Amino acid sequence: MSESTTLHERVVIIGSGPAGWTAAIYSARAEMNPFVIEGGISRTMIPGGQLMFTTEVENYPGFKHGVDGQTLMLDMKEQALRFGTRVLTEDVVEIDPAQYPFRLVTTGGTEVFADAVIVATGANAKWIGLANEERLAQSGGGVSACAVCDGALPHFRNQVLAVVGGGDTAMEDALYLTKFAKEVVIVHRRDELRASKIMAERALANEKITFAWNSVVTEVFGDDVITGLRLQDTVTGEERELEVGGLFVAIGHEPNTGFLQDVVDLKDNGYVKTPIPWRTQTSVPGIFAAGDVMDDYYRQAVTAAGTGCMAALDAERWLAHGGVDAHPGEVAAGH
């Protein structure tokens, strides 16, 4: 689209993971004619979202033999297109919440006015930042940022597995992985855990879990699959090698909310607040949020899809009840 393009849409969905496509399928079938701004292509993200970076998804219902992440996402997109969804492959960089219809601007300079907006921009797992870590994570070579998603895969059974991080996620991941692993080594950069007392105690008491304290991973070994790690002591600088059959990185997530800073209320950790329990409305009526961008707890494909469905229904009902016209002043008042 050219720089001067201006559109007016009834429902704009931002993001193209399970939340975005499910919202699109529901909105399209409800004849809301949704417009999906699916995100651009960058080094760390592509349209389709986080599942585009994984091989086997074994816990999404309906696929008894599992499904590869890319197939699942491309099929969701096809399903949304079948009902007339339209798509723009750019990022949203700006939303003006005080103006109604809401004014959105994309990386390509397209200006889109929207009667309702569904934000489904997801979150990105933080990675250590090593070249072979990224390569093996993308090729299914035994590096993952999601133990619940990948831990049960045959590749990780009866192996020594490393979990990097000292927070609750690392403890939870390590405890979960003990079901399948021979041994789990938690690699933490300090000698004190950040995790809550109860989670730390559970991990410390588990005989299958050992700790590499004051340690960071400086290299990941392996061609097709991971074979080991180089660890560096953060106090002495000493290096050592650790043979492992899997690496789970659990050093936190970052929600994709950079463009929402002064738009809707965010939690302290950057995730979008949805103040009414079991609703997807944000602090600005008419702007809804679904998936990992508002969920710092479950972060699963099926929960993202579920909240995508909720957001589409919430948006449809809000518009059916008159949208901002039924509640004058509500949007401008914002929060």
By the criterion CB under 6 A, which residues form the site for ligand FAD?
14-20, 37, 39, 45, 47-51, 53-54, 57, 59-60, 91-92, 120-123, 125, 144-146, 149, 256, 259, 291-293, 299-302, 304
Determine if 255 is a binding residue for ligand NAP (CB under 6 A).
no
Tokens representing 255? 């929600």
CA dihedral 71, 245, 65, 311 (to 10 degrees): -50
Residue tagged active-site, from 149, 173, 292, 295: 149
**What are the E-state strand segments in 15-153?**
35-37, 56-57, 67-68, 86-88, 92-96, 102-106, 111-119, 123-125, 143-144
Kindly tell me which residue out of 82, 179, 182, 190 binds ligand NAP, with binding defined by CB under 6 A.
Answer: 190
- Toward ligand NAP, which CB reaches closer, 251 or 311? 251
Determine if 151 is a binding residue for ligand NAP (CB under 6 A).
no
Least gap, CB of 92 to ligand FAD (angstroms): 4
Between CA 137 and CA 139 the distance in angstroms is: 6
Between CA 318 and CA 199 the distance in angstroms is: 41
- Contact segment (CB under 6 A) with ligand NAP among 80-88, 133-141, 168-176, 254-262 equals 168-176
Q: Is 309 a catalytic residue?
A: no
Ordered alpha helix ranges (H), 191-269: 197-205
Cβ atoms < 10 Å from Cβ of 9: 22
Determine if 308 is a binding residue for ligand NAP (CB under 6 A).
no
Residue tagged active-site, from 91, 115, 150, 292: 150
Query: Pick from ligand FAD, ligand NAP, none: which does 164 bind, CB < 5 to 8 A by kind?
Result: ligand NAP
Bridge partners of 123, per DSSP, are 255
Determine if 40 is a binding residue for ligand NAP (CB under 6 A).
no
Query: Pick from ligand FAD, ligand NAP, none: which does 167 bind, CB < 5 to 8 A by kind?
Result: ligand NAP
- Toward ligand FAD, which CB reaches closer, 169 or 214? 169
Q: How long, in residues, is the chain?
A: 335
Q: Are 242 and 183 in contact (CB under 8 A)?
A: no
Burial 299-312 (b: 16+ CB within 10 A, else e): bbbebbbbbbbbbb
Which residue is nearest to ligand NAP, using beta carbons?
Answer: 167
Q: Is 223 a catalytic residue?
A: no
Cβ atoms < 10 Å from Cβ of 4: 8
Residue tagged active-site, from 91, 115, 146, 295: 146
Active site residues: 146, 149-150
* Chain residues that interact with ligand NAP, rule: CB under 6 A: 128, 164-170, 172, 189-190, 194, 196, 216, 251-252
